[in-house]
Structure 1
């Protein structure tokens, strides 16, 4: 049994440049919910680590965020899976907090909450900050091409980062689950 860390926007649900602001804006990427259910049914613990600066910027409030996460959990449960935890950073870049990816604060909290180490765990994201966070914590970075993934891949090709050379690139969360479960 493994803990798998997932980013939210662009990995599980559709990314929006103007922020996902409400439960109605929160739309699952095709195949992502079933992929999460399959991973969960195989005995793996899914946790979400997501930057949600829209809170600090006033784009949505905590009730809106809880409603989005309630929808996410319900969809995964209806598909036969479980989300073990959702951890979020409510700050903006200017706040210079430890919990905003690429910092590892969210992963530190996950480790404390589950009394485990995430070293060697997979971390699936669509942005450079996700991959940098993963590597800083000793996780295995996976880049999905959904969300901002294509732009991130182009960035990595144009400006290679030696720390990210072992990043796996997958079409989407569904392809990652197939890879992981084989």
Structure 2
């Protein structure tokens, strides 16, 4: 069966800026993120990003600019031998969410269908409560990284209804645990 890992973008792969990533120049990869994705690629694991990008829905940047940011993301990952198999984006503004916008599971379910992957075998690695909520609603395993918003989420306490949640320092540590079979 095909293996898939779902990743949030901001705070997991790249720095989560308080004012959002608005151009390719503002995209800063987190240390070890590209190498972690490359390890998944080498292990024949599909990697899909599922990311809320209300910066488009709020008319702060255009969809074309978001495409440029993602093109730059792919380029920088490729420099380290890493690739993303899909990037799914929800541009809905927070006040007009669709079922695709996390914490709803729409994007995750779409990725599972796209890759014909089983939810129970697929971890969602994120740094925000809404990533964990979307993962639970989709039936995916939940992994919280302490990068981005993750440390604050962990300190506030993960709601009991979302448990179990594996907590790791960053994407590299989460990928290492996944590849060792420790994220059950």
Which structure 2 segments of 5+ residues have no match?
none
Task: Return the alpha-carbon distance in structure 1 between the equivalents of residues 169 and 178 of structure 2.
Answer: 13
Residue 163 of structure 2 is aligned to residue 175 of structure 1: no
RMSD value, Cα: 1.3
- Matching of residues 93-132 of structure 1 within 5 Å: 93-132=94-133
- Compute the displacement of 1:111 (Å): 2.6
- 2:152 equivalent in structure 1: 151
When residues 16 and 77 of structure 1 are mapped into structure 2, their CA distance, relative to the original with a 3 A threshold, is: same
- 2:135 equivalent in structure 1: 134
- 1:66 equivalent in structure 2: 67
Residue 51 of structure 2 is aligned to residue 50 of structure 1: yes
What TM-score do the two structures reach when normalised by structure 1? 0.93
Task: Return the alpha-carbon distance in structure 2 between the equivalents of residues 39 and 115 of structure 1.
Answer: 17
What TM-score do the two structures reach when normalised by structure 2? 0.92
**Would the aligned equivalents of 2:11 and 2:127 in 1 still touch at CA under 8 Å?**
yes
3-state SS of the aligned residue for 1:46?
strand
- Compute the displacement of 1:19 (Å): 0.9
**Would the aligned equivalents of 2:46 and 2:85 in 1 still touch at CA under 8 Å?**
yes
Post-superposition Cα deviations, 1:89-110, rounded to whole Å, max 9, x if no partner, equal 0001211311110101111221
- Compute the displacement of 1:132 (Å): 0.6
Task: Return the alpha-carbon distance in structure 1 between the equivalents of residues 7 and 108 of structure 2.
Answer: 11
Post-superposition Cα deviations, 1:16-48, rounded to whole Å, max 9, x if no partner, equal 111111101111001101111111111100000
**Would the aligned equivalents of 1:19 and 1:59 in 2 still touch at CA under 8 Å?**
no
Post-superposition Cα deviations, 1:49-70, rounded to whole Å, max 9, x if no partner, equal 0000000112211121111111
Which structure 1 segments of 5+ residues have no match?
none
**Would the aligned equivalents of 2:119 and 2:141 in 1 still touch at CA under 8 Å?**
no
- Compute the displacement of 1:86 (Å): 0.2
Count of residues paired in the alignment: 179
Post-superposition Cα deviations, 1:64-93, rounded to whole Å, max 9, x if no partner, equal 111111112122222223211000100012
Task: Return the alpha-carbon distance in structure 1 between the equivalents of residues 58 and 137 of structure 2.
Answer: 27
Task: Return the alpha-carbon distance in structure 1 between the equivalents of residues 103 and 8 of structure 2.
Answer: 12
3-state SS of the aligned residue for 1:48?
strand
Structure 1 runs, 4 residues or longer, greater than 3 Å off: none
